[in-house]
C-alpha cells in the first residue's frame, strides 16, 4: 500500500499557509508526516487547547461524560442540569444500542432528563430546581441510581451539584452522584471521560459481591459502547468461545454490572483512550490484569480472541477459539473476495474521536485500501505514538482523583518516548508500563497524521488528495459531500452496523464498496452552482 505521488511536505505547507505565524507554529507540531513504514522516534503534539476561532471537530467535556461514558447505561437516570439544548442534543444521537428485552433492568435510555434551566435559575441559582427534578424522577421511576451532569452555566454560577446529590441520596436512600463535567472543563471530550470514569470507579465499582453472571472465563470489556450493536456481535463471538462477557463499560450496561465487575478474571480494553485508567485502577485495587484488544476487522478480532485465550492459557479454550475462528472466517473471506477487486487501490482519510481513526484502518487494509491521512479529535500522545506508555501512578486507587490523573499531561511523568533505561528505573519505584499499539507506527510512509483537524484543513486535504472516501462525523458530513467525496460516519455508522467482529467486517466491506464505487456526490451539482453567474451579477449590481 503506497501513498499517491503528492509531496507531503508541500501538502503540509499548503495547510499552514493561511495561518498567522503563531497559530501556524502550533498547528505544525500537530501535523506529522511518516518518514518510514514503521515506528519512529518523534513526537506529535496532542491533547492541547484548540486555538479560539478555529472550527474544530471536537466536542465538550459534558459530551464526554454524559454522552459517551454514562449515556449507554440502561438503568441509571441521567439528569442534565442545564439549559435544555445540552440534554436535547445528547439524546439518542450516539446510536448506542440496548437490549430492551434483557430481564431485570429498566431502560431509561430513550428518555431525556433535564432541569431545563431558565434565565431566572442562572440569576438566583438552580439547586432548588435540581432537587425537584431528582425527586420527580425518583417518584416516577424509582431507579437504582441517579446521576447529575453539570453543563457550562452550572459551573459559572456555582451550583453545588455534589451537595445536592448528598442531600438527595440521604433523603431517598438510593445512590445519587454528581459530575462536575462543565463543557469548558477540559480541552475536549477526553476530560469528560476521566470525570465520569473516576466517579463510577469510586461510587459504583466493587459495591456488590453478588455476581450478575457466572462463567469459567469471566471478562469485562472496557471502552466498548455498543454503537450500532457492536457489543452484541462481540458478545455473540465470545459466548460461542465459552467466554463470559460480565460487564461492558458501558455499552448496554446496568448499574449492577458496574457494581460487581470486580468479580471478573480479566479486563479487555477496546477503546484505550476513553478508559485505560479504569483498567489501571482495577489492576491496582483488585489485582485484575488487563490486555488491549481490537474487534474492528476480522483479522483483528481473531487476534484478540487468541490473545484472550492465551491469557487464560487453558488448552480447551485455545482449541475452541481456533474452532470459532475457523467457523467464522469462510463467510468473511467470501464477502471480501467479492468486493476486493473493486476496492483495491482506493484511498481513505479518517478523522475520528480517540480510537476509531486507528482501529478502522485495519478494515481498510483488509479491503486493499490505503489510508492517506488520519488523526484523532482528542486522543493523547500514547494513542498516536504507541509503545510503553501507561504508568500506573503510585497512589491508592480509591483516592485517585482527576487532579492526580492530570499527571498524564505532564511530559516529565508521561512520555511515550521514555527510554528503556528510564522505564526500568521507574519500575523500581512502583511504576508499570505496558505495550500499546499506536496509530503512527501503523501508518505507511508519506502518510499524514493530523491532530484536532479543523474544517479549513479538511477542505484543503480533500482538494489536494481527492480521497475516495472520508471518514468523520455529522458536522463534517455535508461539507465533504458537497466537495463530491462520500463521507462515512465512523461515530454513528450512518444508520448501519454493527461493524465489529466477523459479521461486522462483512457489513463494512459491503457498505464501503457501495460508497467508493458509486460516487453520487461527485455527479451532483448544487442548485446554487448552476445559477452562480446570475447571483454574482446580482451582488455586483
Ligand atoms: S464510541 Fe468511542 S471509541 S469512546 Fe470515544 S474515543 Fe467518541 S463518541 Mo464519537 S465514535 Fe468516537 Fe472513540 Fe473511544 Fe465514540 S472514536 S468520538 S469519545 N468514541
Ligand atoms: C461526541 C459524540 C460523538 C459525536 C459524533 C459526530 C458521537 O463527541 O459528543 O460528530 O458525528 O460519536 O456520537 O462523537
- Nearest atom in ligand 2 to the alpha carbon of residue 477 is 11
The residue-averaged pLDDT of 112-120 equals 98
Cell of 311: 491469557
**pLDDT higher than threshold 60 for residue 13:** yes
Which ligand lies nearest to the CA atom of residue 383 in the structure? 1
Q: How confident is the model at residue 80 (pLDDT cuts 50, 70, 90)?
A: very high
| Ligand 2 centroid – CA 209 distance (Å) | 35
If one residue of 61, 65, 68 were mutated to test the ligand 2 pocket, choosing by the most ligand atoms within 8 A of its CB, it would be: 68
Cell of 72: 449507554
Least reliable range by pLDDT among 9-23, 271-285, 300-314: 271-285
Residue 351 sits at φ, ψ, to 5 deg, of -130, 95
Ligand 1 binding residues, C-beta < 6 A: 64, 68, 94, 189, 223, 225, 227, 271, 273-274, 352-356, 491
pTM, two decimal places: 0.93
**pLDDT higher than threshold 80 for residue 458:** yes
Residue pLDDT, tens place only, 302-357:
999 999 999 999 999 999 999 999 999 999 999 999 999 999 999 999 999 999 99
Q: Write the residue with the smallest CA distance to atom 10 of ligand 2.
A: 473
Distance CA 4, CA 2 (A): 6
The b/e string for 143-159 (b: 16+ C-beta within 10 A; e otherwise) is: bbbbbbbbbbbbbeeeb
- Nearest atom in ligand 2 to the alpha carbon of residue 63 is 9
Q: How confident is the model at residue 390 (pLDDT cuts 50, 70, 90)?
A: low
Which pLDDT does position 157 carry in this prediction? Answer: 97
Which ligand lies nearest to the CA atom of residue 66 in the structure? 2
Distance CA 45, CA 31 (A): 8
Distance CA 465, CA 10 (A): 12
**pLDDT higher than threshold 90 for residue 419:** no
Least reliable range by pLDDT among 242-251, 427-436, 493-502: 427-436
| Ligand 1 centroid – CA 353 distance (Å) | 5
Choosing from 11, 63, 147, 191, which is the catalytic residue? 63
| Ligand 1 centroid – CA 491 distance (Å) | 7
For 105-174, list the strands marked E by DSSP: 113-114, 145-150
Distance CA 539, CA 531 (A): 13
| Ligand 1 centroid – CA 204 distance (Å) | 23
| Ligand 1 centroid – CA 431 distance (Å) | 28
Which ligand lies nearest to the CA atom of residue 357 in the structure? 1
| Ligand 1 centroid – CA 42 distance (Å) | 26
* Max avg pLDDT among 3-7, 44-48, 358-362: 358-362
The residue-averaged pLDDT of 376-382 equals 93
Distance CA 101, CA 81 (A): 30
Distance CA 134, CA 131 (A): 5
Q: How do beta strands 347-351 and 266-269 pair? A: unpaired
Question: Chain centroid to CA 401: how far?
Answer: 21
**pLDDT higher than threshold 60 for residue 402:** no
The residue-averaged pLDDT of 513-519 equals 94
- Nearest atom in ligand 1 to the alpha carbon of residue 227 is 1
- Selection from 194, 312, 211 nearest residue 261 by Cα: 211
The residue-averaged pLDDT of 131-152 equals 98
Distance CA 138, CA 126 (A): 18
If one residue of 195, 352, 356 were mutated to test the ligand 1 pocket, choosing by the most ligand atoms within 8 A of its CB, it would be: 356
Q: Is 162 considered catalytic here?
A: no
**pLDDT higher than threshold 90 for residue 5:** no
Which ligand lies nearest to the CA atom of residue 67 in the structure? 2
Least reliable range by pLDDT among 90-99, 238-247, 332-341, 410-419: 410-419
**pLDDT higher than threshold 80 for residue 405:** no
Ligand 2 binding residues, C-beta < 6 A: 59, 63, 67, 93-94, 189, 353, 473-475, 489, 491-492
**pLDDT higher than threshold 50 for residue 540:** no
Choosing from 74, 81, 193, 491, which is the catalytic residue? 193
Choosing from 11, 46, 58, 60, which is the catalytic residue? 60
Q: How confident is the model at residue 470 (pLDDT cuts 50, 70, 90)?
A: very high
Which pLDDT does position 422 carry in this prediction? Answer: 80
| Ligand 2 centroid – CA 495 distance (Å) | 14
Question: pLDDT over 90 for what percent of the chain?
Answer: 79
Residue 513 sits at φ, ψ, to 5 deg, of -55, -50
The residue-averaged pLDDT of 185-192 equals 92
* Residue 409, helix vs strand vs coil: helix
If one residue of 80, 492, 493, 495 were mutated to test the ligand 2 pocket, choosing by the most ligand atoms within 8 A of its CB, it would be: 492
Q: Is 310 considered catalytic here?
A: no
Q: Write the residue with the smallest CA distance to atom 7 of ligand 1.
A: 353
Q: Is 193 considered catalytic here?
A: yes
- Selection from 62, 27, 30 nearest residue 45 by Cα: 30
Any idea what DSSP says for residue 91? Answer: S
Which pLDDT does position 232 carry in this prediction? Answer: 97
Q: Write the residue with the smallest CA distance to atom 9 of ligand 2.
A: 63
Which pLDDT does position 252 carry in this prediction? Answer: 94
Termini Cα distance of the chain:
53
If one residue of 50, 55, 58, 59 were mutated to test the ligand 2 pocket, choosing by the most ligand atoms within 8 A of its CB, it would be: 59
Least reliable range by pLDDT among 227-231, 263-267, 280-284, 487-491: 280-284
Which pLDDT does position 394 carry in this prediction? Answer: 44
Which pLDDT does position 396 carry in this prediction? Answer: 44
| Ligand 1 centroid – CA 68 distance (Å) | 7
Q: Is 60 considered catalytic here?
A: yes
Which ligand lies nearest to the CA atom of residue 69 in the structure? 1
Which pLDDT does position 404 carry in this prediction? Answer: 41
| Ligand 2 centroid – CA 67 distance (Å) | 8
- Nearest atom in ligand 2 to the alpha carbon of residue 93 is 13
Neighbours of 29 (CB within 10 A): 13
ipTM, 2 dp: 0.98
Amino acid at each position: 500500500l503506497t501513498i499517491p505521488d503528492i509531496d507531503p511536505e508541500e501538502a503540509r505547507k499548503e495547510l499552514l499557509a493561511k495561518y498567522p505565524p503563531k497559530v501556524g507554529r502550533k498547528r505544525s507540531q500537530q501535523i506529522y508526516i511518516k518518514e518510514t513504514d514503521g515506528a519512529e522516534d518523534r513526537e506529535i503534539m496532542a491533547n492541547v487547547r484548540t486555538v479560539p476561532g478555529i472550527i474544530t471537530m471536537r466536542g465538550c467535556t459534558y459530551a464526554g461524560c454524559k454522552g459517551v461514558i454514562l449515556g449507554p447505561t440502561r438503568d441509571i437516570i441521567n439528569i442534565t442540569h442545564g439549559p435544555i439544548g445540552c440534554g436535547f442534543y445528547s439524546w439518542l444521537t450516539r446510536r448506542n444500542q440496548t437490549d430492551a428485552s434483557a430481564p431485570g433492568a429498566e431502560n431509561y435510555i430513550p428518555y431525556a432528563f433535564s432541569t431545563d434551566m431558565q434565565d431566572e435559575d442562572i440569576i438566583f441559582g438552580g439547586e432548588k430546581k435540581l432537587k425537584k427534578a431528582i425527586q420527580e424522577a425518583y417518584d416516577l421511576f424509582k431507579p437504582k441510581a441517579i446521576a447529575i451532569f453539570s453543563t457550562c452555566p452550572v459551573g459559572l454560577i456555582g451550583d453545588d451539584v455534589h451537595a445536592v446529590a448528598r442531600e438527595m441520596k440521604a433523603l431517598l436512600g438510593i445512590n445519587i452522584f454528581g459530575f462536575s463535567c462543565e463543557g469548558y472543563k477540559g480541552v475536549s471530550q477526553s476530560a469528560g471521560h476521566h470525570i465520569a470514569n473516576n466517579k463510577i470507579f469510586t461510587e459504583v465499582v466493587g459495591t456488590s459481591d453478588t455476581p450478575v453472571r457466572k462463567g469459567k472465563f469471566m471478562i469485562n470489556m472496557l471502552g466498548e459502547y455498543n454503537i450500532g450493536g457492536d457489543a452484541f456481535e462481540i458478545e455473540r463471538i465470545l459466548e460461542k468461545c465459552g467466554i463470559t462477557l460480565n460487564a461492558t463499560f458501558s455499552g448496554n450496561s446496568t448499574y449492577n454490572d458496574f457494581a460487581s465487575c470486580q468479580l471478573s478474571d480479566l479486563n479487555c480494553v477496546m477503546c484505550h483512550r476513553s478508559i485505560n485508567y479504569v483498567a489501571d485502577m482495577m489492576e491496582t485495587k483488585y489485582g485484575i490484569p488487563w490486555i488491549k484488544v481490537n474487534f474492528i476487522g476480522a483479522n483483528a478480532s481473531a487476534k484478540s480472541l487468541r490473545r484472550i485465550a492465551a491469557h487464560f492459557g487453558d488448552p480447551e479454550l485455545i482449541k475452541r477459539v481456533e474452532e470459532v475462528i475457523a467457523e467464522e472466517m469462510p463467510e468473511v473471506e467470501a464477502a471480501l473476495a467479492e468486493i476486493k477487486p473493486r476496492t483495491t487501490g482506493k484511498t481513505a482519510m479518517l478523522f475520528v474521536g480517540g480510537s476509531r481513526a486507528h482501529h478502522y484502518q485495519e478494515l481498510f487494509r483488509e479491503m486493499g485500501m490505503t489510508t492517506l491521512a488520519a488523526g484523532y479529535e482528542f486522543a493523547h500522545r500514547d494513542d498516536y505514538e504507541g509503545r510503553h506508555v501507561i504508568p500506573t501512578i503510585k497512589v491508592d486507587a480509591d483516592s485517585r482523583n482527576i487532579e492526580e490523573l492530570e499527571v498524564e499531561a505532564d511530559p516529565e511523568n508521561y512520555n511515550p518516548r521514555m527510554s528503556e533505561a528510564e522505564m526500568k528505573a521507574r519500575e523500581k519505584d512502583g511504576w508499570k508500563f505496558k505495550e500499546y499499539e499506536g496509530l503512527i507506527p501503523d501508518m505507511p510512509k508519506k502518510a499524514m497524521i493530523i491532530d484536532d483537524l479543523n474544517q479549513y484543513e479538511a477542505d484543503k486535504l480533500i482538494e489536494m488528495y481527492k480521497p475516495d472516501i472520508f471518514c468523520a462525523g455529522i458536522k463534517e458530513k455535508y461539507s465533504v459531500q458537497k466537495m463530491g467525496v462520500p463521507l462515512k460516519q465512523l461515530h454513528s455508522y450512518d444508520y448501519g452496523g454493527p461493524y465489529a467482529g466477523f459479521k461486522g467486517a462483512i457489513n463494512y466491506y459491503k457498505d464501503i464498496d457501495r460508497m467508493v464505487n458509486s460516487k453520487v456526490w461527485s455527479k451532483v451539482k448544487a442548485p446554487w452552482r448552476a445559477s452562480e453567474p446570475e447571483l454574482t451579477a446580482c451582488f455586483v449590481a
